[in-house]
Amino acid sequence: MLNVAEGKIEQQLHLKRLALRTLQINVGKLCQQRCTHCHVDAGPKRREIMGQAVIDKVISFLKANPVAKIDITGGAPELNPHFKNLVKTLSRLTDHILLRTNLTVMFEAGHDYLPELYKAYNLELIGSLPCYLAQNVDKQRGNGVFDKSIRALKVLNDIGYGQDGSGLVLNLVYNPLGPQLPPPQAKLESDYKRELLSRYGIRFNRLFSLTNIPINRFKNYLQAEGRYDDYMELLKANYNPATVSKLMCLEQISVDWTGKLYACDFNQMLNMCLSNGKPVYIDQISAPQLIGLDIRIAPHCYGCLAGAGSSCTGSLV
Ligand code: SF4
Ligand code: SF4
């Protein structure tokens, strides 16, 4: 068992990949927002965007290696100029597509078609809303983001998302505002449901509670506040061995805008690529060849292993 008091996690935790179930596609780092906790360092000035040539390679991989789930992320994925066609093509390859949306992107010029597109392809939406209180959301995501997010959720509710019996799934994502572990997911979900319904008449399906991973912008924030070491100690002190067998990196692979593969989006942001001595691109490997490959572990992995655990679809245990 991992002894968190001794040695480095990368020397103690040895994980090998299982059969592939989910392909997470990061279509680029462009985003109209610039949130303080963003592990992608996304923002309006980022120019890393997946082009058609890489999209074609991703599609070829999926045709040869069907997966249960496709998870589209960014940046704001909808700002990729190929987004609409990507969704259309992917929908022919799987009936389960997750889209990570910042919600507010539907109000960007020329993007008012998005709600109907989501619905037409039955995308399962995962929208960021780190709190049901305006001041907390605006502090993390920028002034006015909370009001826009609420407007977006109302638009989605009006076309059926989050409504009983519609089959249109709307999930929300919570992450702590600062260097704390998230509270228990089930309790938080019922608080969100009660508050969003009573304050704004908004309904949604599930709440995913995520731990902030100490990399990139969130790490910079912690270091600027002199709290990075304390946060790492908090994560280590709450290491939970029951999370290990549920880690998302066991059955998921993440592809970046250039086609390079990683165990997860966090490793992607640290350029810890899948490697057999050199980076592996999506057109260089098949799903069966991924099985048994080592998963690269580093101190940020404590973020997934602490407390109830954390993944792109919430708590693990
Ligand atoms: S957290 Fe999401 S919405 Fe915020 S800057 Fe990053 S990608 Fe954009
Ligand atoms: S950050 Fe989490 S998902 Fe990624 S490799 Fe580490 S434990 Fe796995």
Residue nearest to atom 6 of ligand 1 (CA): 38
pLDDT of residue 140: 87
Could you tell me the distance, in angstroms and rounded to a whole number, from the CA of residue 4 to the centre of ligand 1?
Answer: 31
Contacts of 272 by beta carbon, 8 Å cutoff, 6+ apart: 262, 263, 296, 298
Cβ atoms of residues 130 and 173 within 8 Å: yes
Atom of ligand 1 nearest to the CA of 37: 1
Could you tell me the distance, in angstroms and rounded to a whole number, from the CA of residue 13 to the centre of ligand 1?
Answer: 30
Question: How far is the C-alpha of 273 from the C-alpha of 258, rounded, in Å?
Answer: 12
Could you tell me the distance, in angstroms and rounded to a whole number, from the CA of residue 208 to the centre of ligand 1?
Answer: 16
Q: Which of 247, 259, 248 is nearest to 62 (CA)?
A: 259
Atom of ligand 2 nearest to the CA of 267: 4
Could you tell me the distance, in angstroms and rounded to a whole number, from the CA of residue 194 to the centre of ligand 2?
Answer: 32
Contacts of 31 by beta carbon, 8 Å cutoff, 6+ apart: 38, 40, 42, 43, 44, 46, 74, 75, 76, 79, 102
Q: What is the CATH number of domain 9-305?
A: 3.20.20.70
Question: How far is the C-alpha of 247 from the C-alpha of 303, rounded, in Å?
Answer: 11
- Ligand 1, pocket residues at CB < 6 Å: 31, 33-35, 38, 40, 42, 74-76, 102, 128, 141
Question: How far is the C-alpha of 290 from the C-alpha of 274, rounded, in Å?
Answer: 9
**DSSP 8-state class, residue 199:** H
Q: Running along the chain, 317 residues long, what does each successive block of 10 average in pLDDT?
A: 71 95 98 92 97 98 98 98 98 96 98 98 96 90 95 98 97 94 97 97 98 94 96 97 98 98 97 88 97 96 98 96
Could you tell me the distance, in angstroms and rounded to a whole number, from the CA of residue 163 to the centre of ligand 2?
Answer: 33
- Give DSSP secondary structure letters for 23-83: EEEE-BSB-S---TT-TT--BTT---B--HHHHHHHHHHHHHS--SEEEEESS-GGGSTTH
Tokens linked to 170 = 């709307």
Q: Which ligand has an atom closest to residue 32 CA?
A: 1
The model's pLDDT over 197-228, given as tens digits with 9 standing for 90+, comes to 999 999 999 999 999 999 999 999 999 999 99
Could you tell me the distance, in angstroms and rounded to a whole number, from the CA of residue 218 to the centre of ligand 2?
Answer: 16
Q: Give the number of other Cβ atoms within 10 Å of residue 108's Cβ.
A: 13
The model's pLDDT over 121-147, given as tens digits with 9 standing for 90+, comes to 999 999 999 899 999 899 889 999 999
Residue type, 163: Q
Q: Which ligand has an atom closest to residue 46 CA?
A: 1
Cβ atoms of residues 80 and 30 within 8 Å: yes
Atom of ligand 2 nearest to the CA of 250: 8
Q: Which ligand has an atom closest to residue 33 CA?
A: 1
pLDDT of residue 275: 81
Q: Which of 246, 214, 248 is nearest to 232 (CA)?
A: 214
Q: Which of 56, 21, 93 is nearest to 290 (CA)?
A: 21
Q: Which ligand has an atom closest to residue 295 CA?
A: 2
**DSSP 8-state class, residue 239:** B
Residue nearest to atom 8 of ligand 2 (CA): 249
Could you tell me the distance, in angstroms and rounded to a whole number, from the CA of residue 49 to the centre of ligand 2?
Answer: 23
